[in-house]
Amino acid sequence: MLPRRAVLAGGLAAAGLGGGLLAKAGWETGVPLPFAVQEIYPALWRGQLVVGGGFRARGPGFVANLGALWPTASVVAKTPDGTAWQALPDLPGQRHHPFLAELGPWLLAIGGFSSSPASIWQMQRQCWILERPDGEWRDGPPLPVAQAEVVGGVIAGRLYLAGGRTPAGDANGGYGDHADTGAAWMLAPGAARWDRVAPMPTPRNSAAAGVIDGRLHVVGGRISGAGVMRNLTVHEAYEPAADRWDRLAPMPEGRGGHAAAVLGGTLYAFGGETFGADARAHTELFAYDPAADRWALHGHMPEPRHGLGAVAAGGAIHLLGGAAEAGGRATRDTHMIFRPS
């Protein structure tokens, strides 16, 4: 565990990237995270980049598979142009895949999985709220059902979540106990419960999302079940006023485990992973133009990544953590900064 309120200094060059990153047009090297971590959903809170939970690597020699990772309760924050990461209060429990969001003045950590020696996929319903950086996490309204690997965004001051996975029956311990879902929910600031909204038409997990002009765009994702893990190109957008999902232009290639952020009205989708005979993490960067309803390849990341987080701030998109190979291997502490040309 990180000591609370500790200052976590980082170097100016991320391990394993060096000058290659600086030499790639549109990319800069940011301050590395204090630890290697993947399967994160970071947020911008009070003007700071915040990373909480995730699968944390035991060290450089212990990242061969998921068995060498464990969920963490650590939460760290840094201003976009800061030179050091600072520890915020730990989550009340260790979680991987928790969804972080700023709602009003608060930071929320929602859902995700806890782990035990017998299983690393114990899905949770909890919603925790941090009211100030020097405060303590408190219980917020739990999700109506256990749901993890969700995506979401804030529209008109309300938080919308959709998709991911949920228990298929009474069992809730292994990945096979869960099924993909399209269930979607809304939480208003100060509300005591989540409200159900129209479900996403395509149930899926490991998608990415961003808000453009008052609509939540959910792009890509993965279908998991019966020994099959297949990436999707599906792109659906939720319109709160009509409580409706619209089908829009699909991604150029199927992606799961990628990250997305919106900058200047354009949605950018980064990386991802593919399983199977061609198992790998991806470098592709795709850009979506909502006016034309059209995608285009916008170049490549300096290194492949999946399970990373993306946060737009200060005219750039900050890409945090993730892994350079499919699955649990090659988990990274990197902070890459993308500035569209």
In this predicted structure, the answer to whether residue 241 has a pLDDT above a threshold of 70 is: yes
Local confidence band at 57 (pLDDT 50, 70, 90 cut-offs): confident
Using CA atoms, how far apart are residues 64 and 264, in angstroms rounded to an integer?
Answer: 38
pLDDT on residue 159? 98
Q: What percent of the chain has pLDDT over 70?
A: 90
Q: How far apart are CA 55 and CA 331, in angstroms?
A: 9
- Over 70: is that where the pLDDT of 3 sits? no
- pLDDT, one tens digit per residue, over 188-236 is 999 999 999 999 999 999 999 999 999 999 999 999 987 789 999 999 9
- From 202-216, 297-311, 326-340, the region with the lowest mean pLDDT: 326-340
* Mean pLDDT for all residues in the chain: 91
- Quick: pLDDT tens for 70-79: 899 999 999 9
Higher pLDDT, 4 or 242: 242
pLDDT over 50 (residue 2):
no
Task: Answer for the pair 204, 225: CB distance below 8 angstroms, yes or no.
Answer: no
pLDDT band at 328 (very low <50, low <70, confident <90, very high): confident
Amino acid at 267: L
Q: How far is CA 146 from CA 101, 107, 111, 176, 181, in A?
A: 18, 20, 7, 15, 11
pLDDT of residue 117: 75
Strand-strand pairing, 127-130 and 138-139: antiparallel
Residue 10 has pLDDT above 50, yes or no: no
pLDDT tens across 255-286, in order?
Answer: 999 999 999 999 999 999 999 888 999 999 99
Domains of the chain: 7-11+21-338 (2.120.10.80)
Q: pLDDT at residue 19 above 70?
A: no
Buried b vs exposed e over 32-55: b needs ≥16 C-beta within 10 Å? Answer: bbbbbbbbbbbbbbeebbbbbbbb
Distance CA 25, CA 325 (A): 23
In this prediction, residue 65 has a pLDDT band, given cuts at 50, 70 and 90, of low
What is the three-class DSSP state of 299? strand
Report the length, in residues, of the chain: 341
User: Which residues does residue 266 pair with via DSSP β-bridges, in sequence order?
Assistant: 263
- What gap in Å lies between CA 270 and CA 285, rounded to an integer? 5
CB 168 within 8 A of CB 143: no
Q: Inform me whether the pLDDT recorded for 22 exceeds 50.
A: no
Structure tokens at 184: 């979607």
Closest CA to 31 of 21, 40, 45, 23: 21
Distance CA 274, CA 278 (A): 7
pLDDT above 80: residue 1: no
Q: What count of Cα atoms within 13 Å lies in the side-chain half-sphere of residue 26?
A: 12
* 101 has pLDDT over 90: yes
pLDDT of residue 296 exceeding 90: yes
